[in-house]
Amino acid sequence: MGMKIQAFQVDNGLPLVEVGKTYYIEDTGNEVYGEFKVTHLEVIAAPTASGVEVRADIEIENPVTESCKYYDISIDAIIADAS
């Protein structure tokens, strides 16, 4: 289990990724594309020469059943701020 954080600065042009905000996400591994809210951010690997590994959890609600699923994605899958 890593360290939970509230925000993280990434190098792909986004100013800051924050918990509770909605972002456009493209995660080919889980075949998840669209605008989703980030529910958690977690540092899962200590700082190394290649950087820090951060994962994000997103919430996807099924509009028919109103149930939610949570996906663990790489922070690199967050493409743009949706607001």
Domain count, the chain: 1
Rounded mean pLDDT of 32-37? 91
**pLDDT over 70 (residue 1):** no
Query: What digits encode the pLDDT tens for the residues 13-22?
Result: 666 889 999 9
Q: Which domain holds residue 10?
A: 3-81
Give the model's pLDDT for residue 49: 64
Secondary structure of the chain in HEC code, one letter for each residue: CCEEECEECCCCCCCCEECCCEEEEEECCCCEEEEEEEEEEEEEEEEECCEEEEEEEEEEECCCCCCEEEEEEEHHHEEEECC
